[in-house]
Structure 1
Amino acid sequence: MKSLRAEAFGIALALVAAVLLIWKPWDSCNAPNEVCSFASAVAQQEGLLGYQASAGTVEHDALAKPELAVQLQFVLSDQLDAAQAGALAEQLAQQVQGKAAELRWARTELSLVAGTAEQMQGLDRKSYPLEVAESFAQDARNEQEKPVELGKTAAFAFSMHHLGAPEVRNYSATANSLEQFLVLGKSAAEQLSPAELAVRDSFISYSPGRPSDYSEIELIAEAVRSGRVQSVRIAGSGLEMTVHEMEPAGRAKDIQKWLDQHEALNRPMPYRLFSHDYSEILEGWVGGMKPDWLIPKPVDLPENIEAWPQDPAASMCAADDLQIMLGSPDAATGSRYMSVYAKNISAHACALRSYPQIDFLNEAGEPQQEVQLQPEPGIMLERVLIPAGQAAISTLEWNAMSTSLDPDQTVALRIRAAKAMASDTLTPEYDGQPVSLDILDGATIAQSPWAQARDGWATAQDALKPSSPNAARP
């Protein structure tokens, strides 16, 4: 009797499934007939369980005919594997893109969903554990690439879904635990996908803005398992961690030591480490590995410049050996540039190995407050031997500062070629006329050490011609 009942129950389930496949209760359409007919026809493809469609109008101006904006959602079977889902998504996108162009839809939003839907509270729509989306517009750029990209996105999303991620949105996936976070991360790294991963109900996340790297994801897990931090995230700006509030004071230094001595990752990773009350902020590079541009190197000379002869026995320059001069200030969008020159006016070669010491003076002759002169990253401090009659260069770069409230601007610079020397006070000039600089209180200025010349900057010989003593940076 039980076997007969079981057989009857199985037949009933099969009938229900057949009815659902024919009836498809997911299907709904609130759009013009052309949209509904298209969506219904597309939804008959294998691997699709249903669709929803709606449409509105877009008015670019009052005199033009309103254009149609279409929203299409197709429910994919979550029995599809990642490759099948990717291929189907690309095919659907091509069909939608073609129909949108044919019927001149102004904008089309396509979303593909899968999994068991839940009704969203207070809204007439459902939420699916998996959703990928793309938009199409008549005048948008890179339209032809979008179907392929949506296919890649869908393949990634289905791979995360099948690994148990409770929520997937395009390249973003949520994990239920740290262990699942590692599983998702390993898969994302193997796919070279730019994943955004997070652990549900925690302060653990990974969104590097580039292809995933499993060594970085493992670093997050190591930090969490140590029990010493309460939040860990890697984003485009690097690693950020906050020390657990139960940790003793000063523990941030121990964690910094651990980061500094950690095995270097596959690429340089800057970190910022915060105490739990944010009273202490420590910075560095994981494993001490810095990017090439931060590793000091000798200044690159322009191609047409021959390096000055070196003489280790030559004496260091004295203040009387040098004449300090300014190049003309120059500007680009949001950035400012100016060069400083030290001309050897003695009868013999002399050497400098320093940064110029500079005070930026306002109209009252007082130094601007809290100005930070920072060594330009990646440039090595070297001994430069200046032949008689030649001039070394040091460059200054800063971001434009607002002068809308007419604060005190810099009108003069007090400069020493090296710390022990006397200073000269110079006025910036442009075309022979005094000018002020938008260097105000609190400015940050990057400066290079003294060098023979710098690629991309006017040479001292050109900038200090008698007819044009303040030639601008090219």
Structure 2
Amino acid sequence: MKRRLLIAVLAALAVTAAAVALWDPWDRCDAPEPVCTALGEIGELDNVLDTEVDYDAGSSAANGSGPVLVLWTFRLPETLSPQQAAELAARAAEQAQAVVVGNVELQHAVSIVAGIPQESQVPGMETYPLQLMLGDRPRQETAQAFSFWQQGATQVGNGSVSAPNTEALLELAQLARRLDYEPTLELPDGSIRYTPNGEFKLEQVQLAVEAAQQPNVANAIFGSGSLSVYSSAADDSEQTADIKRWLDAHEPLSEPTAYTLSSPDVGTIFDGWIGRELPDHLMAKPPVLPEGVTAWPGDANAPTCTQDDLKLSLSSPDAALGSRFLSLYAHNVSASACSLQGYAQITFLNADGDVQDDAVTRPETHVSAERIVVPSGEYAISTLNWKAMSTSQDPDETTDLSVAALPNLEPVVLTPMHQERPTSLDILDGARVDLGPWVQAAEGWSKPGESSGSGERPGSRAP
């Protein structure tokens, strides 16, 4: 019953918005006598310009159960001070909500409007610059709405405020902070919009404004704690690259703030963090070994691993929840320890042996590339992680990887294997594959034996 009532109330409130726009004349009253009497009395209050009521008898169930929605709307002068408007709205709401009609259960909803009605995008409908559905705190809600209106807002509604320009938007942001209010702020053309995420922060508003003022930015939208920027230029243009450089070089905010950057056709979405400042959980940290595993001894004099020191191999590919995983192993086959630090160099090859277009690795951000000394006979491990990609249109897939353990070493070609048979990977043209640094492959982790399921061939096919 409560669910049906809630749905009915929400539906009726939506109807009210349309009714507000179509009132003409205001003095009609198609409702029971107690409702019409109260409407007349409220209309006689000083500074109530017009009144309207919608007695929605159709909102009750056909058998008479359920409440009847009574939707009241009062038009107030836009020249009232916030305090005057607050007291008047509270008094009008109190009188309206006190109305009783026999044994009928009533559900009252009260809204106030102010300003000169304007044509809406819907033909034949009008909206008001200030249009507010009152809640549990009519005085505070009305005072806030009129404060924004008189500060220069062009549109004020429940939880939303429009400003005529960026200067006014910043002034309204200051007002919101002083009033401890958290509205969505925006410009009418949508070029700037700010929606707070639990706390109204002026630095976030300022960031959205600054981003929107950059060359070739179509709009900047801050919401859910992050900034979305849309470039008016192509994804691969220098203009879009300039915007990304600006975002990366901007002074970080008081908390790490993520951003996305895309062109209007959203062909490619670039993401990052304002000023390149990452949150703690994404900060690169030294790898942590499983409990009970002893780290390999460090040796400052251990030489860097050479081509002959290492034998490379792959694990079988794995998958979970739309993600793909593959491990790369470097087996120290020499008679002494050698050191590794950094990332393998990987190129993805299709079935013809050609390099795949724009398929690249990118370093994982949460693990730092520490120097490790690999004992003779032990394995270092690096991980590859990527999102599943659709192969329904029979695109080029990765069938081999050309891998160099370090940038200055010769690559070898490795073939992924599954159940001792070659298998392709759904790494397609344009893929971005997260690559971990070389770390210690600890006991208890999957490590290949001498007869591992991955093939290694010399670098004769390496590009």
Short-chain TM bin: 0.5 to 0.7
CA contact (8 A) 1:393 1:460 kept: no
Deviation at 1:312, TM superposition (A): 0.9
For residue 238 of structure 1, what is the aligned residue in structure 2? 227
Deviations 1:314-360 (A, max 9, x none): 11112332232222322233322222122223332221113122233
Secondary structure of the residue that 2:148 maps to in structure 1?
helix
Q: Secondary structure at the match of 1:180?
A: helix
Compared with structure 1, are the counterparts of its residues 126 and 369 closer, same or farther at alpha carbon in structure 2 (3 Å cutoff)? closer
- Matching residue within 188, 192, 204 for 1:216: 204
**What residue in structure 1 maps to residue 447 of structure 2?**
464
Question: Contact 1:111/1:131 (CA < 8 Å) preserved in 2?
Answer: no
330 and 165 in structure 1: CA distance in 2 versus 1, 3 angstrom threshold: same
Give the unaligned 5+ runs of structure 1: 1-23, 59-66, 97-101, 135-146, 245-249, 276-280, 454-458
Mapping of 1:433-448 within 5 angstroms?
A: 433-448=421-436
2:354 aligned to 353, 366, 372, which one? 366
C-alpha distance in 1 between matches for 2:335 and 2:36:
87
Change (3 A) 1:324 1:157: farther
Matched residue pairs, number? 403
How big is each residue's C-alpha offset from its partner over 1:373-410, in whole Å with a ceiling of 9 and x where there is no partner?
Answer: 11122432221212233222211111211111222322
Deviation of the 1:167 alpha carbon: 0.2
Please tell me whether the aligned partners of residues 86 and 138 of structure 2 are also in contact (alpha carbons under 8 angstroms).
Answer: no
The residue type paired with residue 388 of structure 1 is S
- Whole-Å Cα distance in 1 between the matches of residues 328 and 395 of structure 2? 25
1:11 is matched with which residue? Answer: none
CA distance in structure 2 between the partners assigned to 1:205 and 1:150 by the alignment: 26
| Separation in 2, partners of 1:73, 1:464 | 72
- Residue identity opposite 2:155 in structure 1: E
Structure 1 residue identity aligned to 2:115: T
CA distance in 2, matches of 1:56, 1:388: 85
CA-to-aligned-CA distance 1:199-242 (integer Å, 9 cap, x gap): 45684443465533212334566688x99788663424526487
* Cα distance per residue 1:125-184 (max 9 Å; x no partner): 5412223469xxxxxxxxxxxx67999977754542343312023322112344321221
Structure-2 change in CA distance of 1:395 and 1:252 (3 Å): closer
Aligned equivalents of 2:415 and 2:396: distance in 1?
15
**Does 2:279 align with 1:296?**
no
Q: Judging changes above 3 Å, is the alpha-carbon distance between structure 1 residues 337 and 228 closer, same or farther for their aligned structure 2 residues?
A: closer
2-structure distance, mates of 1:334, 1:154: 49
Cα deviations by residue, 1:46-103 (Å, 9 ceiling, x for unpaired): 9997444375989xxxxxxxx9996945337575659959x969x99xx89xxxxx97
CA 1:295–1:126: 2 relative to 1, 3 Å: same
**2:74 is the counterpart of 1:75:** yes
Matched, 1:411 2:411: no
1:176 corresponds in structure 2 to 164
State the Cα distance separating 1:371 from its structure 2 match: 0.8
- Counterparts of 1:378 and 1:164 in 2: how far apart (Å)? 46
1:129 aligns with: 129
Matches within 5 A, 1:194-209: 194-200=182-188, 203-207=191-195
Match of 1:112?
Answer: 111
2:153 to 165, 176, 180: 165
Aligned partners of 1:189 and 1:211 also within 8 Å: no
Query: Given the two structures, how large is their TM-score scaled by the length of structure 1?
Result: 0.64
Using the alignment, how far apart are the partners of 1:319 and 1:56 within structure 2?
Answer: 85
Report the secondary structure of 2:440's partner residue.
coil
Instruction: Give RMSD over aligned pairs.
Output: 5.3
Q: Superposed, which structure 2 residues align to 1:23-38 within 5 Å?
A: 26=26
Does 2:301 correspond to 1:313? Answer: yes
Contact 1:82 1:156 in 2 (8 A): no
The amino acid of 2:364's aligned partner reads E
For residue 185 of structure 1, report the CA deviation from its aligned partner.
0.6
The amino acid of 1:131's aligned partner reads: Q
Per-residue CA deviations over 1:14-68 (Å, capped at 9, x if unaligned) read xxxxxxxxxx9746677xx79x98899799889997444375989xxxxxxxx99
In the alignment, structure 2 segments of 5+ residues that lack a partner are 1-23, 60-65, 99-103, 264-268, 455-463
Q: Is residue 2:255 matched to residue 1:267? A: yes
**Partner of residue 11, structure 2:** none
Q: Does residue 384 of structure 1 match 2:372?
A: yes
Percent same amino acid at aligned positions? Answer: 35
1:217 match: secondary structure? helix
Amino acid corresponding to residue 235 of structure 1 in structure 2: F
Scaled by the length of structure 2, the TM-score of the pair is 0.66
Amino acid at match of 1:464: K
